Amino acid sequence: MTLTQQIITIVCMAIAVMTTRFLPFAMFQGRKTPKVIKYLGTVLPAAVFGLLVVYCLKNVDITTGHHGIPELIGIVATVILHVWRRQMMLSIAGGTIIYMILVQTIFA
């Protein structure tokens, strides 16, 4: 990509992100939020994380290699961090860092 193409891509992505972030507020400004939207706001975060877990583990083969041990340790670390601190970013970052250290050093 040329520099111009990179800048256009970044601007387009920024516009798309800002639109999806601000559009709900603009649509429901001054009005009561519908129950279905509130329901989706409560259930979708958990559904997205469930989807991410399935996606991340889809190619783990417990019959070969390290039998999914680094992945299991990363998941356990993420759960422990989340139960302990209740901070999503800390949990995700901590579990990812532990997993990466394991696969780069111990299970390399």
Q: Quick one: tokens of 37?
A: 């939207």
What amino acid is encoded at 94 in this protein?
G
In this structure, how many other beta carbons lie within 10 angstroms of the beta carbon of residue 91? Answer: 19
Does the residue 91 lie in any domain?
yes
pLDDT in tens, 93-106: 999 999 999 999 99
Residue 89: CA count within 13 A, CB half-sphere: 0
Does the residue 81 lie in any domain?
yes
pLDDT in tens, 16-52: 999 999 998 888 888 888 899 899 999 998 899 899 8
For 74, counting Cβ atoms within 10 Å of its Cβ (0-12 exposed, 13-18 middle, 19+ buried), the class is buried
Does the residue 27 lie in any domain?
no
Does the residue 71 lie in any domain?
yes
Residue 58: pLDDT band (50, 70, 90) is very high
Report the domain count for the chain. Answer: 1
Does the residue 75 lie in any domain?
yes
Which residue range is the domain that position 57 belongs to?
53-106
Kindly state the average pLDDT of the residues 58-86. Answer: 94
Does the residue 31 lie in any domain?
no
**What separation in angstroms does the CA of 34 have from each of 13, 26, 29, 47, 63?**
28, 14, 12, 20, 48
Residue 95 has a pLDDT of: 95
Does the residue 78 lie in any domain?
yes
Does the residue 29 lie in any domain?
no
